[in-house]
Structures are given as C-alpha cells and as structure tokens.
Chain A
C-alpha cells in the first residue's frame, strides 16, 4: 500500500501529553466475505476498522473500549502488524510502518502484544523460559547464556522466580501465565504494548495484581499502552485517554476523567450507564439507559450515523432524518475531547456518566 503522509503543515489533530510516538491515520481494515468453494467470489466486506485516527504518546496509556464486533481487537492487531491494513497509515516515531519497507522488522520489535488468553497464546509444549526467549531467538539477539540471563531478569521484572522458567503453561496459574505473556512481550524492550483484554480472563483479585504490575512497568520502563478492554472500570483506572469504538469507528475520544464524567456521544453515555456499579445505593438511584437490540452486523453497517438504529437521543429528539443520511464527523466538544455525533451538544452529559466507572468500595 502507498500512503500519503500527513502534509507537513497540518498539526496533529489530537495532542496527548507529548508528541505522538504512534500515529494512526485513517486506518481501515476490511475483510472480504466470500461465497463458493471452487469459484470464490467476494460478495461483500466486513468493515472491521473503518477510518480510525488515533495517537499514542510516550509513556501514555490509551484505553480502547467497545463491544464485541466494534473492531477494537482488529485495530490492535493491525497496529502491531498481525493484520495488514486495507488503507491508512501507521506512523511510529514519524516513520511509516510498511510491510515492504526493510526497516519494518526492526521497528516492529518496538510494538508488542499481550493477548487475552495466555493458555492459548503460550505454546503448551514449551517451557515458560522458551516462550519468553523466542523473540530473542527469532531476532538473533544474544548468545544462549545471555538469553538465559535475560529470561531470569525478565521473570524477576514481572514478579516471578527463575524456577518458573522450567514450568509448562499448564503448571502455572492464570495470573502467572499472564505474567509470562508479559515477560515475552517485554523481551525486546518495546516502546508500545498493545494489551488486548489482557486482564479480562483473570479473577478479580488476580486482575488487580496484573493491573498494578502494568502500572509499575510503565513507571519503570516508560512504556506506552494501548489497553483494549470491555471492563470500563479497569480502563478508567489505567488510562490517560480513552477512545470508544462502535462498528469500526471511534465515536468518542478524550481524557479519561473528562470522558467518564462528561460523555458527549449517546453511545458512550449508554455504555457507561449499562455497567453495574459495585455500590448498592448508587445502583438503586441510577437511571439506566437500556439500548434496544444488538449491535448491527459490521458487514452492513447502517447508513448515516452507525449508531442511529439504537440511539436513544435520536428518539428523544424526534428521530431527525440527518442521523440516518449524514455520517457525523468527529467534533471538538472540549479540550482534547471529540465526539462524532450531530447532536453532541444535546447530550445531557453529566447526568448519565457520573456513576459508571466510579465504584464505591467498602465504607466509603
């Protein structure tokens, strides 16, 4: 693919806490839908990621939330190069990541991924140490002895003991396996880690351990995270900025505190209001917006605004025609906060967003 880099004079549309380390411009990933076994013909495309623009600064965490089918996993995989994008640019330290570029492989080592299910992402026949050292072997880094030392160091960094290197995945607990997955991702000293539902499969108490470890590693190593999750409370806890995806598009993006306290897109409002909050009195008081139906099929997204078929705000406003015909562009609603909604100003923001993601603990 050939990408036209952003024209020099154009400022980055979204500024984080520093210059963008990773700059994703208008990224699209379309999967063909085929029919027939002998004569395969393409009958349509699933627009998994459809024009996403996203920046990630050094040592920053961007949370990516959305429901299944929203394209958040595909976006993460396209960024680390596991899925070739259909169009769009991914700039890393200002250089385009392109499969045909000779420098691509070297840059790629700077972008690593941690997966949801460590049982599936670790080879069951390999000891943990072999899995951790694989990125080093593949890239011909170090001698055997140096790699062994590196395994010991990495295990220590993620809070395991050197003895764990001899274990097979089934001999480790879920939390320990996720630590091994993290150690493997850290082996090549990456700048960016894409964590795709990395804590979702873990039990509550173990999840807190891994969340703490992620924060500690960020402080010590200056890592940037793209933290993909459906757990809105965990995203709030970890993220500096949050992007909300719906059917392949980012519908709202902003600072974590701002976006949770004052969501401006009706989908974000309903998402935040749908999450049960571990506080019985808040639960009894809350007004919930229950969306009708299921998310539409990403192979045939609705015309106009993709959310209009389920939008509560549109119904409140008497179903304006505009939503069904004109696709809304992201609009600035406050500093560093954009929402792709024609009626973002009509959203009774603070009404719905306040409780979600803020969870009361014991005797608070």
Chain B
C-alpha cells in the first residue's frame, strides 16, 4: 500500500545507463563484451534484457552492480541510479547500496547461497549489514520475509541449510534476501532458468506480485521471449554487446523492425508453423574477441546493405515515416539501431520482399565470415 508513496513520480528514471562499454583484456586479445549500451528504467517499471548467450546481457547487469573484477574489466560510460553515478562511487559507497537499494536474484540458486550457513543466518546477515537492528528483531523480520515468499512454516525453516531446500524453494529464499530491504531496483538474471516449468510459474508469479506490491523496479534478464511477454513493460534486445532494438513489450512483438528481433521471434515454434520448417537465423553470433567492423549482425542478416558492413548504426527512434503517417502514442519510444529496417509485411514473411533485393556481400577485406551452416 505504501508502494506508490515510496516510488518517484512516474516517468522518473530509477536507472539510466549511458554508453556503457565493458572490455575484458586477456593480455592476448580484448573481448568486447558490451559496446555502448544505453538503457532507461522508470520507477516501478519492468525492463527486459533479451539476447542469446554472449550478447552481453549478464555483463551489463554485473557492470551496473559493479560486480565485475576490477583487474580484468575495463568499464566506461555512465550508470545513473537516482542522482548517483555508480561507476564513480568508491567500494564502500557501493557496498552500502548493493543489497539495500539495488539487489540481485542470480540464476543458480545453489551458488547464490552459502552452503554452510543456515537460511536464517543469511537473511539476517543481509538485514544487519544495512540496518542497525538487534538479532532477535532481524530474525523476526527474516521469518516474515520467508512467509511473504511463500515458504511454509517460515519460523522453523530459519535454522535449515540450503541443501535441505528444493531448487524452487532456494530461489524463493534468494528473492526474500533480495527484497529484504525493499530495494528500489531488483536485477533478476535468468531467475527461473534452472527451474521446472510449474515451479518457474510459481516464482515468476511471486516476483511479479512482490515487485508490483512494493513498487520495486525490475531489470529482468532472460533469453525466453515468453517470460518477457509475461513480465516486462519494455524490452531491450541485445546482440553482440549492442542494444539493437528497444520498445514497449507489445510493440516488440507486434512491430519488430530489427532483422535480428524478427529472426528471434520467427525462430520460436508456433502452432501455425507445425509441419513447416522454422525460419531460423543462419550462422552463429560473432566471437566477442574478434568483432567485425560495422553492424555485428550483418554476416547473418538478409537485409544487409553495403553500409552495414562498415558502420554500426546508432540506437535512435524509429523514424516517423516508418511508423506510417499519423504519429502514434508510442512514437519516440521505439528505438532501433538498423540501416535497413524490416517492413511490416516482411516481418511476417521473415525475409525481404523488395523485388530484386539481395543482401550486400561482405567487402573483400572482411575476411572469412561466419561458418555455422545455414
């Protein structure tokens, strides 16, 4: 009930990421994990980061939390959390924030918990690290939290160890820890990937209820477009460390403009397609240690132009012309990084429908392209 009074005015960004760049220097070569990512998440909002493995979505979230090893990762850009820029904070300030104002629900519930501490100790530790409360009081609150995430007989469970819980229950404990101090922002990195479907449904429902009830903004990372459709209001599609398309969730599904987004949506089996081959994306994602110049999707793209091989297009609002005549309410909120956007009819077909159009071949100096067969 106090959720709305706590949250800032709608439209006020909790998190604003600008041109985030993360590189890992392995001595021999440099891995370009994140290449200029910009994101915005309003208070109480739900933003999904979707992409395949290696697209940089997890590294982005770890960079926001400043959890990347300092000696290996070079980070540039800005991460604004309310009025503070996180990249510039010192470790102590960051520790004060992490767990209290920004918290994380990791993918693997077993490695997210300490196996030699009881569940109670771990929840109490989080509370006591940030608030000056007595142990008894912290334990009482811990039990309350476990109850809130649907763990039966929470008082008795405090003295049990992580291995005595099932995967779904462990993930509930991690959600309890993450929400213990009513953070403004929750980052959930593939929170249900390790769980069975029926348990996944329970955990998603819980995450949804608790974040809405408490006005917590959520940054949800997943490769599952179904989860995105259920949980988010806005989606940013990542490919090879770039955000290539970003729009309100319904827009992404109804009017995708980036060839990669179209390919992702077309790769999912649909009832209408039974018996027919899926429209897959040929080739494989590029190696982040040897990123091509230009748009990293060009080697797999059926819409590629000559300029795609040379220059990465910036992420900008889809032009009014493309949205067709009347400016729609969503105009300006649909961002795209593409030289040659997919036309609506083409999205349904899964291929360009312009007479005589052929994707531009790689320039001769480009070298061998992707080799996964089509």
Contact = CB atoms under 8 A, between A and B. Distances in A.
A22 interface: no
B199 A361 contact: no
A162 to B, nearest CB: 12
B274 to A, nearest CB: 6
A279 B265 CA distance: 10
Contacts of B274: 236-237, 256-257
A275 interface: yes
B270 A290 contact: no
Interface string B255-289: 11000001111111111111001111110110000
Interface residues of A, number: 57
Interface string B301-330: 000000000000000000000000000000
Interchain residue pairs A-B with the least CB separation, the first 8: A276-B226, A237-B269, A208-B280, A358-B271, A274-B201, A208-B267, A278-B225, A203-B52
Interface string A280-297: 111100001011101100
Given A68-B196, A278-B228, A362-B254, A208 B265 contact: no
Contacts of A304: none
Given A236-B274, A274-B200, A278-B228, A208 B254 contact: no
B196 A175 contact: no
Interface in B162-179: 166-169
Interface in A255-280: 256-257, 260, 270-271, 273-280
A280 B253 contact: yes
18 contacts: A204-B264, A205-B264, A205-B280, A206-B52, A206-B372, A212-B278, A237-B269, A260-B271, A276-B201, A276-B204, A276-B227, A278-B226, A280-B250, A283-B226, A290-B198, A359-B226, A361-B348, A362-B253
A215 interface: yes
A363 B271 contact: no
A209 interface: yes
Contacts of A208: 266-269, 278-281
B159 interface: no
A362 B169 contact: no
B196 A236 contact: no
Given A208-B280, A274-B200, 19 more contacts: A159-B374, A161-B371, A175-B372, A203-B52, A204-B225, A206-B280, A207-B267, A208-B279, A209-B280, A212-B277, A234-B269, A237-B274, A260-B271, A276-B224, A279-B229, A281-B250, A294-B167, A360-B270, A364-B348
Nearest to B248: A280
Contacts of B114: none
B130 interface: no
A364 B272 contact: yes
A346 interface: no
B169 A294 contact: yes
Q: Is the interface of B mostly helix, strand, loop or mixed?
A: helix
A291 B267 contact: no
A337 B224 CA distance: 30
A288 B205 contact: yes
B223 interface: yes
A295 to B, nearest CB: 7
B116 interface: no
Given A68-B196, A271-B198, A159 B344 contact: no
Given A205-B264, A278-B228, A359-B226, A67 B347 contact: no
A78 interface: no
